[in-house]
Amino acid sequence: MPQYRTFTAADAVAYAQEFGGLANPACLVDAQEVGDGNLNLVFKIFDSAGVSRIIVKQALPYVRCVGESWPLTLDRARLEAQTLVEHYKHSPQHTVQILHYDPALAVMVMEDLSSHRIWRGELISGVYYPQAATQLGEYLARTLFHTSDFCLHPHDKKAQVARFINPEMCEITEDLFFNDPFIDHARNNYPAELEAQVAALRNDDDLKIAVAGLKHRFFSAAQALLHGDIHSGSIFVAEGSLKAIDAEFGYFGPIGFDIGTAIGNLLLNYCAQPGHFGPRDAAAFREQRLQDIRELWLTFAERFETLARTETRDAALAYPGYAARFLQSVWKDAIGYCGTELIRRTVGMSHVADLETIEDDEMRVACISHAIELGKYLILIAGQVENVEQFIARVRQKG
């Protein structure tokens, strides 16, 4: 077995020639490292005509955006490859295809999605993909249903939970979402002007109890195999197409976490709109985001319920009305997790380009402040919002 080493561009080309599955591997001649995420190396491998043909992704033994002072398990590459392979089985249209995985080198080779664009960039530029929210709802319904107790035999489910135990990556989420923003932590990063607003988060008993409940369910509710980090930067879109990538946070957790993360990133974009298009033009883009949220939830819920009605194997869970009851609890979880995504992306260490690229300082701070307030509000009211129309009305009320 090869020893782990960090790939150079030449290593990545040689690896893609061997494991890329191309009929004419010698055509692969060049590589460029294009990783813009927080964690890993990503190489595009080009042919002699300069066309990107295949992707080689390698985990580093530390958090890329911080450096060697924050070591991180290489096993995350296994969890990412395994999660994407499992999701591909259930939703091949909306999951990147993994072609090869190598545990010793913590490397995977995957389908090249250069014909697509990262959704976050498109949302920031105001490019609308009207089908994307529906397709994301379909992806979430199919992957989450087919890895849940509605579908799996109890023995298989338990074996799968064990195969996807992901303690190191879950710990990052546990800290960044549910701890750091609600205490005075060195990793936090927010505008000094918002100190009083952030201090109020630390001193709000109701909020901290609600966040404790969300963290507790993140620890313990092994409902389905989550993507675990399904934000708009982990989603490629093209006309009529959507593909999820980057699933190294995959584990069996509460379904509402994936739904809430996805909705949360649409809301972060909603909050950022005045910073990119000015208060007047922002209104139309904001309506698109609210429509995306409506479409995402309604598609997810409708597809999940249909699958539950037609394909549930467990006799008790198949009882008419139970799936609808379960989806109500998923919805309420999703609103809470959505709120934590808004807060961790504004107060915590890991920010989003939607807000960070707003050039005007005063406007940027105002948009960040809006996201923090909205996040706190959603966490507090999560249990009272019965449906997506009420959710949208509440978001509108908060400005």
Residue 118 sits in the site that holds ligand ADP (CB under 6 A): yes
40 touching ligand ADP, by CB under 6 A: yes
Residue 73 is a binding residue for ligand LNRAV4D5 (CB under 6 A): no
**Identity of residue 212:** A
In this complex, which beta carbon is closest to ligand LNRAV4D5, that of residue 137 or of residue 233?
233
Residue with nearest beta carbon to ligand ADP = 37
- Residue (173 or 299) nearer to ligand LNRAV4D5, CB: 173
In the complex with ligand LNRAV4D5, the residue whose CB is nearer, 39 or 255, is 39
Strand (E) or helix (H) holding 173: helix 167-178
Q: Helix or strand or coil: residue 188?
A: coil
Of residues 113 and 263, the one with the C-beta less far from ligand ADP: 113
> Per-residue DSSP letters for 257-318?
HHHHHHHHHHHHHHHHHHHHHHHHHHHHHHHHHHHHHHHHHHHHHHHHHHHHHHH---TTTT
Do 45 and 28 contact (CB within 8 A), yes or no?
yes
Nearer to ligand LNRAV4D5, 119 or 304 (CB): 119
Per-residue interface string for the shown chain with ligand LNRAV4D5, residues 234-263, x marking contact by CB under 6 A? x-----------x-----------------
Q: Does 104 bind ligand ADP (CB under 6 A)?
A: no
Q: Is 352 in the site for ligand ADP (CB under 6 A)?
A: no
Backbone conformation region of residue 353, classed left if phi is above 0, alpha if psi is from -120 to 50, else beta: alpha
User: Please, what's the b/e burial string for 105-141 (b: 16 or more CB within 10 A of its CB; e: otherwise)?
Assistant: bbbbbbbbbeebbbbbbbbbeeeebeebbbbbbbbbb
Find the helix or strand (DSSP H, E) in which 367 lies.
Answer: helix 361-381
User: How many residues sit in the footprint of ligand LNRAV4D5 (CB under 6 A)?
Assistant: 11
Could you count the other beta carbons within 10 Å of the beta carbon of residue 215?
Answer: 18
User: Which uninterrupted H or E stretch holds 58?
Assistant: strand 52-59
Helices 205-220 and 322-344 cross at an angle (nearest 10°) of 120
Task: Examine residue 60 and tell whether it contacts ligand LNRAV4D5 (CB under 6 A).
Answer: no
Q: Which of 112, 122, 229, 333 binds ligand LNRAV4D5 (CB under 6 A)?
A: 229
The entry of ligand ADP, ligand LNRAV4D5, none near residue 229 (CB within 5 to 8 angstroms by kind) is: ligand LNRAV4D5
Nearer to ligand LNRAV4D5, 294 or 351 (CB): 351
Residue 4 DSSP symbol = P
Which among 33-41, 132-140, 197-205, 286-294 is the span making contact with ligand ADP, rule CB under 6 A? 33-41
The residue to which tokens 């807000």 are assigned = 355
102 binds, among ligand LNRAV4D5, ligand ADP, none (CB under 5 to 8 A by kind): none
**Residue 63 in the binding site for ligand LNRAV4D5 (CB under 6 A):** yes
- CA atoms of 374 and 257, how far apart (whole Å): 17
318 binds, among ligand LNRAV4D5, ligand ADP, none (CB under 5 to 8 A by kind): none
| 37 binding ligand ADP? (CB under 6 A) | yes
Q: How far is the CB of 266 from ligand LNRAV4D5 (least distance, A)?
A: 16
| Percent composition of the chain: helix, strand, coil (DSSP 3-state, to 5) | 55, 15, 30
Helices 205-220, 167-178: axis angle to 10 degrees equals 170
Q: How large is the greatest C-alpha to C-alpha distance in the chain, in angstroms?
A: 62
Phi and psi at 252, nearest 5°, equal -85, 110
Q: Which of residues 322-381 bind ligand LNRAV4D5 (CB under 6 A)?
A: 350
Per DSSP, the three-state class of 111 is strand
Q: If contact means CB under 5 to 8 A according to the sort of partner, which of ligand LNRAV4D5, ligand ADP, none does residue 25 touch?
A: none
Which residue from 31, 74, 91, 112 is in contact with ligand ADP, where contact means CB under 6 A?
112
Binding residues for ATP are 40, 57, 111-113, 246-248
Contact residues toward ligand LNRAV4D5 (CB under 6 A) are 37-39, 63, 172, 176, 229, 233-234, 246, 350
